[in-house]
A and B are shown apart, each in its own frame.
Chain A
């Protein structure tokens, strides 16, 4: 099942995809069908009682490593983001006018389903609720070599679109063999496969849960393959992952 969280008719609703429409699953309008174009898409994440942990990975694709001819990292390069940087499908992302190089990053987003601590790789899939698509924008002008990538690059308002769907883990039999692609104004600029991750999803869950507790609803953004290009105000960026969804975002000048 593909789950969405939407604003429609003056309230926020949970919905699922059904025959190319949204079928509301709770609240006064339960059973109502609405068109994709008639709603505001929110991040497909159920609210959590405390701050959601959002882990993001850098340099986690082998093609990137091959191209740059550098040694693959020995352990995941991870950084944390605040939940406030998340926005939904079809949203507007602010691009600072002073920036020379801002790029998208198409990433498989893993949503944790139950409390995970000291989880072994072989059991890791049991702890996943589902998957979504994230676009972890970066503004390279602000990159500094202090806790790099620093939050000024990676934790900006509106700069982490996620959605449209949370796809149940049961519906994604092999998340490690999914095609990814990004288009900018319809032109393909990035393509890859989750098969090329250096640290695959089970390895990441084992690694993080070896020193920290992952809670239901926590997110792991698993990194992006090569093929990032500068985007400009007005550009429409679609980050898409096979079986998970196509996440649309539009840049505006800020």
Chain B
């Protein structure tokens, strides 16, 4: 069986962990933002970013380091209902501004590590999920879905208020930062593993151009 890839569009959610929200909070009313975000702030991970299980991530085009973005993706079925979920590594080039759309930071080839398969279930099953991030075997982050700003049902409802998720789409619930606001990073030679109980793990082998 070939590893799983999304059939539909993959959406990511910005600023959906309380720690990052709180760190940003004092700056949210300043230029250029002027106000905290009201609706969910989303971005699209295009098909060129899909990195199926077993495929390496090649850092190229001047990129030497990436932010690791461990997250849960809700897989959408009929009538915009959630039919399952999977772990993903939502990689990005480190960037400090959230003002303009992040295409060149988030839409590079291979920048979405995918688990080999999805797990069936309901959102209620995952509200307290803990996702471990290991780099070269060392635990570098534990992402706790109890710390979401919008929990899973709220996120689905608030996104659904302005766009209809289609069967096959994936809604990623957000990535958390570390205490200092940065994210764990990876560079060529690193192996990143993202795991959680009940889910197929995501392993990212990072390569560089020789």
Residues of B1-51 at the interface with A, using a CB-CB cut-off of 8 Å, are 5-11, 14-15, 32-35, 37-44, 46-50
Give A225 to B81 CA distance when docked, in angstroms.
39
Q: Which of B33, B40, B44 contacts A80 (CB 8 A)?
A: B44
* Cβ–Cβ contact B101 & A148, under 8 A: yes
B107 close to chain A: CB less than 8 A? yes
Q: Which residue of B lies closest to A79 (CB)?
A: B101
* Cβ–Cβ contact B46 & A53, under 8 A: yes
Contact residue range for chain B? 35 or more
Q: Which of B5, B7, B14 contacts A147 (CB 8 A)?
A: B14
- A80/B164 contact (C-beta < 8 A), A146-B37, A148-B101 known: no
B109 close to chain A: CB less than 8 A? yes
- Residues in B neighbouring A52, C-beta threshold 8 A: 47
- Residues in A neighbouring B11, C-beta threshold 8 A: 82, 151
- A145/B9 contact (C-beta < 8 A), A151-B163, A211-B61, A211-B104 known: no
* Cβ–Cβ contact B166 & A146, under 8 A: no
Give A148 to B101 CA distance when docked, in angstroms.
6
* Cβ–Cβ contact B48 & A84, under 8 A: no
Most chain A beta carbons < 10 A, residue from B5, B32, B41, B108: B41
How many contacts A-B (CB < 8 Å)?
117
* Cβ–Cβ contact A146 & B47, under 8 A: no
- Residues in B neighbouring A50, C-beta threshold 8 A: 5-7, 47, 50
Distance (whole angstroms) from the CB of B10 to the closest CB of chain A: 7
- Residues in B neighbouring A146, C-beta threshold 8 A: 14-15, 33, 37, 41, 98-99
Q: Which of A55, A155, A212 contacts B163 (CB 8 A)?
A: A155
- Interface SS majority for chain B: loop
* Cβ–Cβ contact A213 & B109, under 8 A: yes
* Cβ–Cβ contact A152 & B101, under 8 A: no
A215 close to chain B: CB less than 8 A? yes
Taken residue by residue from 89 to 116, chain B's Cβ proximity to chain A (1 for < 8 Å, 0 otherwise) reads as 0000000001111111001110000000
* Cβ–Cβ contact B101 & A144, under 8 A: no
B169 close to chain A: CB less than 8 A? yes
Residues of B168-203 at the interface with A, using a CB-CB cut-off of 8 Å, are 169
* Cβ–Cβ contact B61 & A150, under 8 A: no
- A51/B101 contact (C-beta < 8 A), A156-B162, A157-B163 known: no
Q: Which of A83, A150, A155, A212 contacts B109 (CB 8 A)?
A: A212
Q: Which residue of A lies closest to B33 (CB)?
A: A145
A77 close to chain B: CB less than 8 A? yes
Pairs A-B, 6 closest by C-beta atoms: A80-B44, A79-B101, A50-B47, A82-B9, A53-B46, A213-B48
Chain B interface residues (CB < 8 Å from chain A): 5-11, 14-15, 32-35, 37-44, 46-50, 61, 98-104, 107-109, 162-164, 166, 169
